[in-house]
Structure 1
Amino acid sequence: MQFIKKVYLLSVLTGSVILSGPAHSEPANNSAQVNGVEVVFVLDTTGSMNGLIEGAKRKIWSIANTIVDQNPDAKIKMGLVAYRDIGDDYVTKSFNLTTDIQGIYANLLTFEADGGGDAPESVNEALDVAVTKQDWTSESSQQNVKRIIFLVGDEPPHMDYKHDRKYPVVLKDATQKGIIVNAIQVDGTTETTRYWKEIAKLGNGKYIAIPQDGGKVVDIETPYDDEIIQVQAALNNTVLAYGTKTRKVAVENKKDAYRAATKSSAAEMSKYVNKSSKGAAVVTGKGDLVADMNKGLKLETIPEQELPEVMQKMDVEKRAIFIQEQNAKRIELAKTLKEKVEKRDAYVLEQKAKMQKAGKTKDSFDTVVEKMLSEQIKGK
């Protein structure tokens, strides 16, 4: 053990440390392997969409896990575009595609249904922002990346606005970029149906209608949720937030998100982070010293004032040992979490089968999105 610590300390001092973590499984030898999945939700946030937005907040982690379950080696990015109309608090509010899914979740939590009251809405501008302003990976830089948009709303687009590009032109851009555009209609009028069906057709996607409340999205609580949340709390204690004050606060906020979420959402969040990082991370995005050193960060490059407060008064040797200890705890806890998540998955699968048989999830927002993702990522 002392030998390991000395070797570890030497590597820290020479700037070459890579903390040992859970073994990463080798990607399957499959020529059709998906290397990346990029999903942008374009959501109408006017007053009539309150039920859908609240459902999306609860089920975004279930949707994220659908992707990671089927594509464990793919780089997953999500983005958001909220839209209303001219005269409301905003026309569009965009959050760029990112691998920091907890950051996207935090932004989604800020969405509130308000405004509107008159049809149509700024659908054209929202689609334009999603297709042309989001940071999509170019086909030339990475092969076999699936790019998918979900337009979700209940009112047709303004076709009388002279300042914006109309959806037929925008969807040509989407096709050239290899972006599939799906249209999910939340109740609405027959006029909305006509436009939504055409948008899906031009976007090489699918059209589907769901109820105004998002299809009565149901949280499935399990006997394993409390255990998962307890393990997650212990894992959160291994996080060492570093960097600027703003970034440290952001990392702490992500830890707090677990406590604020419903039991099922917190468990789904734990599963996503554990599985997508193969147990090496506790929060998504940068700012956790343990995770970032696993990726090759050199400890000596961090100014002392940007280190975690608990480490600032330590000498170099104690800092190295402290990080090693946190990482060792994380490895063991991540294994425990993985086992509990697997048991939870089996329970949820059984409950979903019962609900589907009873027709309780047929038209829910999350079920519709998960089915579309499964089919379109596979290329069907």
Structure 2
Amino acid sequence: MKKYAHKTMMLLLILFVGTSFAHNERSEESFTPVGLQTKPESIKYSRQPVVKIALLLDTSNSMDGLINQAKSQLWDIVNQFAYAKCGNDSRPGLQIALYQYGNDDLASQEGYVQQVLGFSSDLDEISEKLFSLTTNGGEEFCGQVIHQSLLQLKWGKNPDDLKMIFIAGNEPFTQGRKDFRESVLNAKEKDIVVNTIFCGSYTQGVNTHWQEGALLAGGEYMAIDHNRQVVHIKTPYDKIIIKLNAQLNNTYISYGTKGTHRIAQQRTQDAQAMEMEEVVAVKRAVSKSSGYYNNAEWDLVDASAKDDFDLGKVKKETLPASLKGKSDQQIKKHLAEKKAERQSVQKEIQQANAKREAYLAKQQKNETGELEQAMLQAIRKQAAKKDLYWE
């Protein structure tokens, strides 16, 4: 009898210790800060996860500062994704959509809301649409623009995708006939997180329901000074990167009906970034050296990297003059040379940028803008829930 009692006590002791250990493990996990989360275990995906960001910008009279921040800080946000990884160590896709609201030039019957761009991974197109935005006084209906973005955009149903709305403005969140609560709760049901960015004081944003809009949808509420000028620090590496960007542009070979227009668009967006400030052009060049800058729709080098690429299906009359009349073998050789040249230039840009960042760190200078900081803070926190992490 004593023998059985002893065994029973031992089993109970083992069970108690094991249960306590498991409880402690769960407790530690639940209190792990987002910024300190470690790499998740390798995960198998049905398809590669995509980060989908819908940017809803107030373009009423007082929002020039917000629009300028969006134009200049787009590249900072894209560049941060170069360090993002999925649970299987691959890079997530990135798509950005753009809406404007609160502008008198927009149709009143649409609630002064306009889809400027559906989800796109084309960085030149996103940049072009941002630069096309202008401000004009109007009515800002937050519930309406969120509602329309839910209806019109192709969000998809992949549970591994990180789907986010960022809405920025400075008028009460309650304006308009569409109840914002209904809109944000609808977003939450679709696994879409709504983050609100109030352009003004934190308390005023709380009092005008911007915080409530975020909390209802499981998102982040942030307040920024949209008129704050970001102080960009010049470094000895800026001119080097600008020069390398010109070399990078020379590796693109246009083709198809879009080719001529799109290669001109690439140059135009370079020029517009430079017009804002040289540092903005530098950051755009860094984005162009990453895997997120892909132009397979109009660039023959990027197109040739696709598994289903068939040079025989390319209409030769749409190629640049230098390739017209060339044989397929000659074109393939030229493509291989340009591909190698591009990879070399991209590597040089990344190396120069690493030195640039080290220089800024040594100078203890922070170039982070208000909009960029707010968005990246929310993205990183919400990415952890989808097993995305930053290196």
TM-score, length-scaled by structure 2: 0.77
Q: Structure 1, residues 200-247: CA drift from partner, whole Å, max 9, x if none? A: 11121111222241x332333322111111111111111001110x44
Q: Report the equivalent of 2:151.
A: 132
**Which is greater in Rg?**
2
Picking from 150, 159, 163, the partner of 1:147 is: 163
- The letter for the 2-side match of 1:328 is A
Q: Report the equivalent of 2:291.
A: 276
Q: Are 1:318 and 2:330 counterparts?
A: yes
Correspondence list, 1:215-254, <5 A: 215-244=228-257, 246-254=258-266
- The 1:170–1:35 alpha-carbon spacing in structure 2 relative to 1, beyond 3 Å, is same
Q: Structure 1, residues 354-378: CA drift from partner, whole Å, max 9, x if none? A: 449xxxx6x8222222222222212
Q: Cα RMSD between the aligned structures?
A: 2.7
Unpaired runs of 5+ residues, structure 1, are 1-26
2:106–2:113 contact (8 Å) kept in structure 1: no
Picking from 46, 50, 53, the partner of 1:39 is: 53
2:165–2:192 contact (8 Å) kept in structure 1: yes
The percentage of counterpart residues that share the same residue type is 25
2:52–2:162 contact (8 Å) kept in structure 1: yes
Q: Are 1:54 and 2:68 counterparts?
A: yes
Q: CA deviation at 1:81?
A: 0.7
Q: Distance in 2 between matches of 1:318 and 1:284?
A: 22
Q: CA deviation at 1:192?
A: 7.3
Q: Distance in 2 between matches of 1:350 and 1:145?
A: 37
Picking from 296, 306, 315, the partner of 2:318 is: 306
Correspondence list, 1:351-370, <5 A: 351=363, 353-355=364-366, 364-370=370-376
Poorly superposed stretches of 4+, deviation over 6 Å: none
Q: Distance in 2 between matches of 1:249 and 1:152?
A: 32
- The letter for the 1-side match of 2:105 is D
Q: Which structure carries more relative contact order (alpha carbon 8 Å, separation 6+)?
A: 1
Picking from 105, 113, 124, the partner of 1:92 is: 113
- The 1:223–1:30 alpha-carbon spacing in structure 2 relative to 1, beyond 3 Å, is farther
Number of residue equivalences:
332
Q: CA deviation at 1:30?
A: 2.7
1:258–1:266 contact (8 Å) kept in structure 2: yes
Q: Structure 1, residues 122-180: CA drift from partner, whole Å, max 9, x if none? A: 222211122221122322xxx4221111110001246553xxx4222221221122111
Q: Are 1:286 and 2:286 counterparts?
A: no
Secondary structure in structure 1 of the residue aligned to 2:157: coil
- The 1:228–1:260 alpha-carbon spacing in structure 2 relative to 1, beyond 3 Å, is same
44-53 or 152-161, which deviates more:
152-161
Q: Distance in 2 between matches of 1:29 and 1:319?
A: 44
Q: Are 1:266 and 2:281 counterparts?
A: yes
Secondary structure in structure 1 of the residue aligned to 2:325: coil
- The letter for the 1-side match of 2:196 is A
- The letter for the 1-side match of 2:155 is W
Unpaired runs of 5+ residues, structure 2, are 1-38, 387-391
TM-score, length-scaled by structure 1: 0.79
- The letter for the 2-side match of 1:289 is L
Secondary structure in structure 1 of the residue aligned to 2:148: helix
